[in-house]
Structure 1
Amino acid sequence: MAKNFFSKRNVNFLLYEVHDVESLTQHSYFADHNKETFDMTIDTAIQIAENLMFPFVKDVDKNQPELKDGKVKVHPSIKNYLKAVGESGIIGADFDYENGGAQIPVSITSAVGYILMSANNGMMYIGLTSGGARLIANFGSDDLKKAYIENMISGKWQGTMCLTEPQAGSSLSDITSSAEPQEDGTYKIRGQKVFISAGDHDATDNVIHLFLARIKGAPKGTKGISLFVVPKYRLDGTDNDVTSMGIYHKLGQKGVPAMHLGFGDKNDDCVGYLVGEPNKGLSYMFQMMNEARIGVGLTGVSITSAAYYAALEYAKERPQSRRLNAKSALETPQIPIIQHPDVKRMLLFQKSVVEGSLSLLLETSKYFDLAEASDDPEEKENAHLLVELLTPIAKTFPCEYGVKSINDAVQCFGGYGFTEDFPVEQYYRDIRITPIYEGTTGIQSQDLLGRKVTLGGGKAMKLLAEQVGKTIKQATEYEALKKYALLLKDSSQRLQEVTMHLLGIAGTGDVERFLSDATLYMELFSLNVVAWQWLKQAVVAQEKLQAANNDADFYESKIHTMKYFFHYELPKTQGLATRLTDTEVLTIMTDKEFVM
């Protein structure tokens, strides 16, 4: 079993040296906090991760949830974990005081989420609960807030997102779940939902579903969808006619039950409580979905982190063969495989993905904090636009490149990596769902190209370009980084040219052609954004080295990994740009391509 799953030194570097999260305390909303309270929150998470989560990684995977007599039983360690995070205040730490939170920045709770999920992503429960509770806090009535929030953020009750239906999938406009108004102001709920993570289990006393349905007589399509709180048990303890119809047996993340749920199927007696106004449910739910997308990105980087540190540890300890230039190979002892160039290349790739992705997620989280807390209207608006633009990338890159990274982690172990004797085979299974969760890569890519690049009339893209330009300017002040500043400048120009080319196609009205290679555009954009994050880290590292810092090895490692990303990963943008500006269309279906 690996000993490490994350680096606290790297978390501190990104939070305090690169992103200066401590500066958030200048805003009145966060004024009660300082670095000490942030560190206490992180240290609490580390204790829970090390003692209640990491020791059970394999056991939670092997002893997956079971549905017996209509009840779902999960691994007993999950109950202990949920009790601990509830009592520590972690679940609602970033809620406001009014709703029982501590007004901790999302930047800090994102780091906390990374630590917890790196320890054991089979305990991926609290993000769903906090997201559901936040929806109630933002849009629910005072009665709903009083009835549900406290028990959810204390870990006593589980929260879920109930969106997907068997016939609709990601196409939410096609949902058929219904809500019929009752005389007492409640609604009778009917319908089925599938793939509901943590949809039922025995580690909490109740499960609170945030449920999309169409009120009878509502308009068709997405405009007629409303949001409801549908508890497993009503407040008086009455069973609410929510039936666990089955558990999906998954490739990975087996500690979290993915449920097929029936609402009102058994006794036609399922009660729901409207959140906010009728027919606005999808706009409310998108708040939770955007949070969840950042959460999925964190899940991706967390699993990738655990796999990387396992591979790194193995590569340092596993002796095999000799250096290629050794003159008398058989007369010299074998060397640790980390000394072989190909293994070092794979480890550098993993390190670049983990630390680049985490930096991007913390950057996005900081903009989220500024959008919520800034007293300056312009800063607030700009931060909101940057969150909107970066969210699909922050969800997609850590997951898609995480899959590739863990593929290399398995390769570092050789044949052992394919066995259950080492943890990476589990991580390889666990991460594969993340490019699918909360909108597939294709959906995120179409959102990025089809909506986000033109957000605010192009203002979001302009703001991002200004931020990247600022980092490029800082990097040019250091002789050692000038080369990389110019590489990012050239690559950013290439991204702009591709974007204008594609928007030109959009202007012709041929939407299908415009978006046909959106996933490739996502990769092009993501590589540029992560290169920016690496140059940002390198600027800080170079500054520290020139100040003769005692942590020279750490900072030199940062610069070396930045160089790897710029020499091995960023050049891929050239091939992507070539394809994205190619006039030959090959993926639009004509019914002739797949003749058997």
Structure 2
Amino acid sequence: MFFSKRDLQFQLFEVLDSESLTKYEYFQDHNRESFDMVLDAAESIAVKMMHPLLIEMDRNEPQLIDGKIRIHDGMKPIIKKMGEDGWVNAAFRYDEGGQQLPVTILNAAGFIFQASNYSASIFSFMSGGSANLIRTFGSQELIDTFTPNMYSGKWQGTMALTEPDAGSSLSDISTSAEPTEKEGVFKIKGQKIYISAGDHDACENVIHLMLAKIKGGPIGAKGISLFVVPQKRIEGSQLIDNDVLTAGIFHKMGYKGAPIAHLSIGSNDGAIGYLVGEPHKGLSYMFQLMNEARVSVGLNATAIGTAAYYASLAYAKERPQGRKIAEKDPSKPQTSIINHADVKRMLLFQKSVVEGSLSLLLFCSKLSDLIHIETGEAKERASLLLDLLTPIAKSFPSEMCCLSTSAAVQILGGAGYTTDFPVEQYYREARIHPIHEGTTGIHGLDLLGRKITIHNGKAAQIYFEEVSKTIKEASQVTEIQLFSEKLQKYLGKAQQATGHLLGLAGKGEIEKYLADATLYLEMFGIITIAWQWLNQALIAQQNLATAHEADRDFYQGKLMTLRYYYEYELVKVDSLVKRLQSTDNVTIEMQSGWF
């Protein structure tokens, strides 16, 4: 199996108490039974439709033929099914055709899809994110014109940001928008690259949410506006070409089943775009989608890492190799490799990463729900905490699941390096996540340069309060008291390093302050996952005494993984703190000509 239903239920209903969301009026029509039905439906689609295509979609990647990208034929029924069953707009209001499903449960279902076949999972959820931008900031005319077909799967939604000369630096985009005689309608001209699902033959039309600059507007980021730019536009009752051409397709090392397009817009001066919201506010609008997408990227990475973990776990249980270290008699039967300490170390590493990451991502999902339904201080607190955690929720799973999938390959040995087993594919597919939706370096700058100091450090204060609350609870439980003390120590070290860096900023030494922002992000991520493991351990220890045999094994596994993480991973904070407080500015002083 590519995921653990037991662990997902533990995270959702024992650790997070997601059922408590149904006490709020907005979610009152739901209950534990309806949540289970959603997860069962997701598992059914994943097992029956998505997972069987995992290898086929990797081996037979999309091709650009006669100006159109052709994808695997199996995607057509999947996209249709996702639309018919309401997955695209499941979290939206009833009056919009949605189910008012908590984001927490929808993301858990998304995790199942992603673990089964990452490439197949992205089409529908990209449409949901794009449609959400239109429904949030667009006019009623735009909503009525575009979103129904995006919800149904008839039309694909994308977000088109990146250009050949403007990747993370969106202020440098050159795609232009020229007003026409009709208000809100513009002629669009430019190029966009690396557009996921930017063109394919499993839908009738592609709706791009595109950033462009209105001619004569402010320079830089302040001049960016957001437009709906359809591949085909509606005239009367017909769809006609909108001069959005597929100029190329990128062939990737992984995640091959989903096409990544190079688009040429307005090469014949015929591309029409429709302004979303107000002029020059496009970047702020797009950041709503990007922040949602960043949590999704962390979830994607975790799902792939989870699938790799269970593949290597199954192999380790079945593969005989050697004998236990103390066994010297060669006539004795070989033992399964899972009995070797070093293999257990690699499995514990994977388990600690993927289950710790999933815990954080579902916690972030619940914060998103609370922001929607809470008011006043509770709403502000959830909003600030989610804002602070977003770069960590995106980057820790992205970086660490590259390492955990590598461990999966290592466990399989030579077999892991072949296409006969799936872990090499998972290894390739994991590598995109530290790159897209903002590189790890960008998120390091975001965390240290903005999130730590925003609102006079209020978000950081809330974070430290939440972690300290868990530490206090754990300190009352004898069996895990030691781990609460360890986390308290490392939390103090992180605060010390933060104070040192803020001191540099206060003296105006900004380059020194931010030079190791990526390492600061790494430190923060390690501590945050340690916090999540302590949360899980609290519940596991609490339930252990009264659990049935199978659940006792499950809870013991949680407690042992807590031990592993604190013994092997949390201690890495020591070296990171030492580096963050060092006065050796080697990366600043190094000159380009010395490489």
| Aligned CA-pair RMSD | 1.0
Aligned equivalents of 1:135, 1:566: Cα separation in 2: 41
What are the superposed Cα offsets for residues 164-211 of structure 1, whole Å, 9 maximum, x if unpaired?
110111111111101111112211110100000100001111110000
Q: Name the structure 1 match of 2:153.
A: 155
Q: Name the structure 1 match of 2:339.
A: 339
Aligned equivalents of 2:540, 2:524: Cα separation in 1: 25
Aligned equivalents of 2:29, 2:105: Cα separation in 1: 14
Equivalent AA in structure 1 for residue 351 of structure 2: K
Larger CA deviation: 429-438 vs 96-105 = 96-105
> CA offset at residue 241 of structure 1?
0.7
Q: Name the structure 1 match of 2:4.
A: 7
1:177-196 to structure 2, matched below 5 A, reads: 177-185=175-183, 186-196=185-195
Q: Name the structure 1 match of 2:566.
A: 566
Larger CA deviation: 125-134 vs 43-52 = 125-134
Larger CA deviation: 531-540 vs 510-519 = 510-519
Aligned equivalents of 1:351, 1:77: Cα separation in 2: 32
Aligned equivalents of 2:170, 2:592: Cα separation in 1: 30
Q: Secondary structure of 1:76's partner?
A: coil
What are the ranges of 5 or more consecutive residues in structure 2 without an aligned counterpart?
none
> CA offset at residue 578 of structure 1?
0.5
Larger CA deviation: 20-29 vs 285-294 = 20-29
Q: Name the structure 1 match of 2:405.
A: 406
> CA offset at residue 548 of structure 1?
4.4
Q: Name the structure 2 match of 1:79.
A: 76
Q: Secondary structure of 1:67's partner?
A: strand
What are the superposed Cα offsets for residues 371-424 of structure 1, whole Å, 9 maximum, x if unpaired?
1111x3110010000110000000001110000001100000001101101001
Q: Secondary structure of 1:383's partner?
A: helix
Aligned equivalents of 1:548, 1:229: Cα separation in 2: 54
Q: Name the structure 1 match of 2:247.
A: 245
1:228 aligns with 2:227: yes
Q: Name the structure 2 match of 1:45.
A: 42
Answer yes or no: is the 8 Å Cα contact 1:49–1:119 preserved in 2. Answer: yes
Q: Name the structure 2 match of 1:18.
A: 15
> TM-score of the superposition, structure 1-length normalised?
0.98
Equivalent AA in structure 2 for residue 360 of structure 1: L
Aligned equivalents of 2:276, 2:359: Cα separation in 1: 35
Aligned equivalents of 2:96, 2:174: Cα separation in 1: 33
Q: Secondary structure of 1:570's partner?
A: helix
- Relative to structure 1, the CA distance from residue 589 to residue 52 in structure 2 (aligned partners, 3 Å threshold; closer, same or farther) is farther
1:421 aligns with 2:420: yes
- Relative to structure 1, the CA distance from residue 336 to residue 590 in structure 2 (aligned partners, 3 Å threshold; closer, same or farther) is closer
Q: Secondary structure of 1:331's partner?
A: coil
What are the superposed Cα offsets for residues 192-233 of structure 1, whole Å, 9 maximum, x if unpaired?
000001000011111100000001110100001000000111
1:319 aligns with 2:317: no
> CA offset at residue 455 of structure 1?
2.2
Larger CA deviation: 455-464 vs 563-572 = 455-464
Q: Name the structure 2 match of 1:304.
A: 305
1:113-262 to structure 2, matched below 5 A, reads: 113-123=110-120, 124-185=122-183, 186-235=185-234, 236-262=238-264
Aligned equivalents of 1:151, 1:338: Cα separation in 2: 50
> CA offset at residue 592 of structure 1?
6.0
> CA offset at residue 86 of structure 1?
1.0
Q: Name the structure 1 match of 2:274.
A: 273
Q: Name the structure 1 match of 2:358.
A: 358
> CA offset at residue 98 of structure 1?
2.9
Q: Name the structure 1 match of 2:582.
A: 582
Equivalent AA in structure 2 for residue 571 of structure 1: V
Equivalent AA in structure 1 for residue 571 of structure 2: P
> CA offset at residue 591 of structure 1?
2.3
1:84-123 to structure 2, matched below 5 A, reads: 84-123=81-120
Equivalent AA in structure 2 for residue 292 of structure 1: A
Larger CA deviation: 546-555 vs 252-261 = 546-555
Equivalent AA in structure 1 for residue 443 of structure 2: Q
What are the superposed Cα offsets for residues 304-338 of structure 1, whole Å, 9 maximum, x if unpaired?
0111110000000000000001132x021001100
What are the superposed Cα offsets for residues 131-178 of structure 1, whole Å, 9 maximum, x if unpaired?
100000100000011111111122111111110110111111111101
Larger CA deviation: 125-134 vs 203-212 = 125-134
Which 4+ residue blocks in structure 1 deviate beyond 4 angstroms? none
Q: Secondary structure of 2:588's partner?
A: coil
What are the superposed Cα offsets for residues 541-570 of structure 1, whole Å, 9 maximum, x if unpaired?
000013344421111111111111011100
Aligned equivalents of 2:311, 2:592: Cα separation in 1: 47
Aligned equivalents of 2:212, 2:540: Cα separation in 1: 51
Equivalent AA in structure 2 for residue 237 of structure 1: L
Larger CA deviation: 338-347 vs 34-43 = 34-43
> CA offset at residue 127 of structure 1?
2.3
Aligned equivalents of 1:151, 1:511: Cα separation in 2: 48
User: Aligned pair count?
Assistant: 589
> TM-score of the superposition, structure 2-length normalised?
0.98
Answer yes or no: is the 8 Å Cα contact 1:42–1:111 preserved in 2. Answer: yes
> CA offset at residue 593 of structure 1?
6.1
What are the superposed Cα offsets for residues 327-384 of structure 1, whole Å, 9 maximum, x if unpaired?
32x021001100000000000000111100000000111111101111x311001000
What are the ranges of 5 or more consecutive residues in structure 1 without an aligned counterpart?
none
Aligned equivalents of 2:505, 2:156: Cα separation in 1: 43
Q: Name the structure 2 match of 1:504.
A: 503
Larger CA deviation: 123-132 vs 585-594 = 585-594
Q: Name the structure 2 match of 1:531.
A: 530
Equivalent AA in structure 1 for residue 144 of structure 2: K
Q: Name the structure 2 match of 1:69.
A: 66
What are the superposed Cα offsets for residues 108-143 of structure 1, whole Å, 9 maximum, x if unpaired?
111111100000011121221111000001000000
Q: Secondary structure of 2:452's partner?
A: helix
> CA offset at residue 97 of structure 1?
2.0
Answer yes or no: is the 8 Å Cα contact 1:127–1:295 preserved in 2. Answer: no
Equivalent AA in structure 1 for residue 300 of structure 2: T
Aligned equivalents of 1:587, 1:290: Cα separation in 2: 30
Larger CA deviation: 228-237 vs 530-539 = 228-237
Equivalent AA in structure 2 for residue 450 of structure 1: G
> CA offset at residue 588 of structure 1?
1.1
Q: Secondary structure of 2:241's partner?
A: coil
Equivalent AA in structure 2 for residue 241 of structure 1: D
Answer yes or no: is the 8 Å Cα contact 1:67–1:73 preserved in 2. Answer: yes
Equivalent AA in structure 2 for residue 422 of structure 1: F
Aligned equivalents of 1:136, 1:96: Cα separation in 2: 14
Q: Secondary structure of 2:328's partner?
A: coil
Aligned equivalents of 1:592, 1:203: Cα separation in 2: 47
Aligned equivalents of 1:574, 1:549: Cα separation in 2: 39
Aligned equivalents of 1:307, 1:519: Cα separation in 2: 26
Aligned equivalents of 1:497, 1:571: Cα separation in 2: 16
